[in-house]
Structure 1
């Protein structure tokens, strides 16, 4: 694999590497939301949520549209929705292994 393709893959996967970003992605599976709506469901300050949304946009996972004074965020396309569903399916199969992993993450 070319280094640029690998770098692109790593950058894409970075969007999935934080608990808050996963919470945001799971929330957006039900439809578009404003930052305020996201803040009601995901713990964090507006600044923190906005930074995570910027990361998700930069990774191509989330898109935003402006309507009046509000920005509405949604999953960038149906393939992202399918990928999140696939994660859930795979995790069902490997949950015990993941939970016993010795390399625990720290947020």
Structure 2
């Protein structure tokens, strides 16, 4: 099991990974190609970040033929904390 510090570093390792995570928190489930368009990253980069998030256990990926569907694991307590953090930050933006 990865320790909390390493988990946090891996989740927030790059701006691209944060954009992917935010998009997944919003849509919950999406195909990889569409996700890449939303976050403005190529398919390969999205795949690498999804693999890292999947390795942390907070994202699942399913294959339907050539289509890959990615889903955030809302049932994971760590995802609930991350979602709460982003919600709090969004609220703070609106109060400036």
Q: TM-score, normalised by structure 2?
A: 0.74
Count of matched residue positions in the alignment of Structure 1 and Structure 2? 90
Query: CA offset at residue 63 of structure 1?
Result: 0.8
Q: CA 1:89–1:34 in structure 2 vs 1: closer, same or farther (change >3 Å)?
A: closer
* Aligned 8 A contact 2:60 2:72 in 1: yes
CA shift, 1:82, in A, is 2.2
CA RMSD of aligned residues (A): 2.4
Equivalent in 17, 20, 30 of residue 16 of structure 2? 20
- TM-score normalised according to structure 1 size: 0.68
Shift of the 62–94 alpha-carbon distance from structure 1 to 2, 3 Å rule, reads: same
Counterpart in the other structure of 2:82: 84
Larger fraction in strand: 2
Q: Is the 8 Å Cα contact of residues 32 and 68 (structure 2) preserved in structure 1? A: yes
Deviations 1:43-69 (A, max 9, x none): 222111111111111111211112222
Runs of 5+ consecutive residues of structure 2 not aligned to the other structure: none
Distance in 2 separating the partners of 1:94 and 1:54: 31
Corresponding residue number in structure 1 for 2:62 = 65
Residue 16 of structure 1, CA deviation: 2.0
Gaps of 5+ in 1: 96-107
